[in-house]
Chains A and B, each alone.
Chain A
């Protein structure tokens, strides 16, 4: 065996804290090492060719790279090995950057540690076994979870590339949060005018199948071959028969708060989510329907001329196969009633930005008029409070919700335009306008008369005057003094939050959530739409607060990732799979229940014992299913189960080297 060790300087990143000369010199003395060299940048073309040449000149068959994390460049070096005709798993990385030079300051101690890490890698690679991967077929159908603007965009892009897509939406219509908005910044485009054509396109696209009023119930499988169970909730309305006339909605006697208008209007128990809903078929909300509560009523069925009402409908479980999954589950807005100082929920004239947005919307609860909920009159003076529950480590979320600065600027502009003479005051911490034409838009809002006060609000309380106005007490940081504003309406810019079930869904998909509940991308800079689970991609706010153009771009990015997978038509199986040494396996099958992929089964082998043939059960691994976690190898009692790339011998060699 001829091992070569290459020590990277990573410019000054490693060299400043680790004595690379000493590491290289020491490496030369390690067992089976025949060559060692230090290189300025191993990942560069020059560095790669240095390794290549050394492999040729010194007839190296194993390589140890002491450089950055294997999570960074392992594949780079594996490709180099393959190009040199060596097995990619004959290269081992010693992580002397992230785990050494970057976290330590004492050069002497860091060098000792770096030498240890190299020694450990050399010991491991000495026991490396060659690994190969198989090509597995890909199911060329995508699943998009979430029918907001991000999900719609991803579905349309994949469908336009010629691949079938299923779009699953939990509400009875696609459209998501964007359907609730009136106008969008910075162009003041009517939200519905730009969204509804896309909704219709998605519904009528020959490659898109919509599952509205449906949820993902279970996911199994792996990239290219996911098995997904979709729970289609009973709508109680047969979509084939329903012609969308709306008679059932008109006649329904039961009224409940309308979530789409943030509870500021009423809807019926049988309802369509909003006038431009797609599909435009009503559903019966069984929790609130009189018929489902008492067995009486049935008015909707009586008035329906096509006989579309079907009370007996059951939830349906639909199982489908997909090659790729785009997660676009969006967000929820925090209800700011946890912050007592803003009096939300205590005073009717303290509302959220989305409630104002719904009032501004022509199809909203007030048909586009802005009123004070307490008396129905038009407000003259409106106070906006920014960062409600955002950038608040104590009583909210630590992160910035990113869109509030701009939508508040939009609200002041819209109010000024629709109801001239309205006074807008904005209490803010910082105004953040990173985005194309955003700063100009904010400037416009200020020029049009919005008063920006830098400071926080300490209390919102009833003023006690005849108009029942609210007194906003705050601090103006520019003037360095307390200010009090008697307002007709207070609007809270509440925080965007991850969906409450994000973790559950993430668990099914094998993707993790960050400290704030948003899904984690595979790499913060370079792989922002991929996840840790291959074949699962992210789009929109489920990944973190975003505005509409960002969500749409990410959705297109996620779509392209799926299209790349489908165009290739096959995926490489994981090479680091479990393997059974049949002679040693006792057939106890303890490994079977710990396997999360059901990759382990029992097989019968024939052996000759004392000249007689005998049958014996042993474990066997399906390499296509195995994802290489090694849970089976970790518990095998007879040491028969092992894991490629991380064999017991290799890991023991690492332990022994330390």
Chain B
């Protein structure tokens, strides 16, 4: 049992114009990467609410990847700058919440960078495997 590899669960939010397209291109190019990732398509990385990221952790995600267009290359001009600010703030709060900030990755992957997408997912999976399961964040809402 001890030698078994821990397979982490990764939730990714990919912007439609760059990172989702990059992931598509990785598919078209048959670039292989681990099966651990589940991609949620959003129009822009700035669409992602902090609550969605936290909910992913609550649901047992071991890592969350936010991927958007390169700075200056946002399809909507400025969306990724807002993302950057928001994710920076969240990262700084994660320690406080008992979550390891290394479990939240923000990466810029363009529609042409299939190899970067592949490399990112592969590296993230490997790091999370080494880190093991994430501590569960309690859901304090009454409805649950």
Contact = CB atoms under 8 A, between A and B. Distances in A.
Interface string B64-75: 000001001101
Contacts of A533: 75
Contact of B110 (A98, A512, A651, A652): A512
A103 B30 contact: yes
A297 interface: no
Contacts of A515: 112-113
B42 A651 contact: yes
B76 interface: yes
B112 A520 contact: yes
Contacts of A627: 76
Nearest to B69: A512
B32 interface: yes
Contacts of A510: 75-77
Given A520-B111, A594-B82, A633-B47, A70 B41 contact: yes
Contacts of B26: 98, 103
B135 to A, nearest CB: 18
B9 interface: yes
A634 B61 contact: no
Interface in A90-148: 95, 97-99, 102-106, 109-110, 112-113, 116-117, 120
Contact of B32 (A105, A120, A633): A105
A656 interface: yes
A71 interface: yes
A93 to B, nearest CB: 9
Interface in A635-658: 635, 643, 645-646, 648, 651-652, 654-656, 658
B63 interface: no
A634 B11 contact: no
B21 A71 contact: yes
Among the interface residues A98, A105, A628, which one has the most CB atoms of the partner chain B within 10 A? A98
B59 interface: yes
A330 interface: no
A502 interface: no
A71 B16 contact: yes
B16 A656 contact: no
A635 B86 contact: yes
A280 B134 CA distance: 72
A507 B33 CA distance: 32
Nearest to B25: A98
B24 A103 contact: no
B47 A630 contact: yes
- Interface-central residue, A102, A104, A514, A520, by most chain B CB under 10 Å: A102
Contacts of B113: 515
A594 B23 contact: no
A112 B35 contact: yes
A113 B35 contact: yes
A513 B69 CA distance: 11
B17 interface: yes
A416 interface: no
B133 interface: no
A112 B118 CA distance: 20
B28 A658 contact: no
Interface string A482-511: 000000000000000000000100010010
B55 interface: yes
A629 B52 contact: no
Contacts of A120: 38, 40
Contacts of A98: 23-24, 26-28
Given A510-B75, A634-B48, A628 B43 contact: yes
A97 B42 CA distance: 18
Contact of A655 (B59, B76, B82, B111): B59
A369 B86 CA distance: 64
Interface in B70-107: 72-73, 75-79, 82-83, 86
Interface in A69-105: 69-72, 95, 97-99, 102-105
Contact of A594 (B11, B24, B46): B46
B124 interface: no
Nearest to B26: A103
B132 to A, nearest CB: 19
Of B18, B33, B73, the most chain A CB neighbours within 10 A belong to: B73
A426 B112 CA distance: 35
Contacts of A69: 20, 24, 27
Contacts of A634: 46-49, 82-83, 86
Nearest to B29: A102
Given A98-B24, A510-B75, A652-B55, A576 B43 contact: yes
Contacts of B110: 512
Most chain A CB inside 10 Å of its own CB: which residue of B32, B82, B113: B82
Please indicate which of the listed interface residues A103, A512, A652 has the most CB atoms of chain B within 10 Å of its own CB. Answer: A103
A117 B112 CA distance: 24
B108 to A, nearest CB: 12
A501 to B, nearest CB: 13
A655 B16 contact: no
A184 interface: no
A303 B111 CA distance: 57
B137 interface: no
A296 to B, nearest CB: 44
B28 A629 contact: no
A656 B78 contact: no
A629 B79 contact: yes
20 contacts: A71-B20, A98-B23, A103-B26, A103-B32, A103-B33, A113-B38, A503-B72, A510-B77, A512-B69, A512-B110, A594-B46, A594-B78, A630-B43, A631-B78, A631-B79, A635-B46, A635-B86, A651-B52, A652-B51, A658-B59
Given A102-B30, A512-B69, A630-B47, 8 more contacts: A69-B27, A98-B24, A513-B73, A629-B43, A631-B76, A631-B78, A634-B47, A645-B43
Interface of A: 69-72, 95, 97-99, 102-106, 109-110, 112-113, 116-117, 120, 503, 507, 510, 512-515, 520, 532-533, 576, 594, 596, 627-631, 633-635, 643, 645-646, 648, 651-652, 654-656, 658
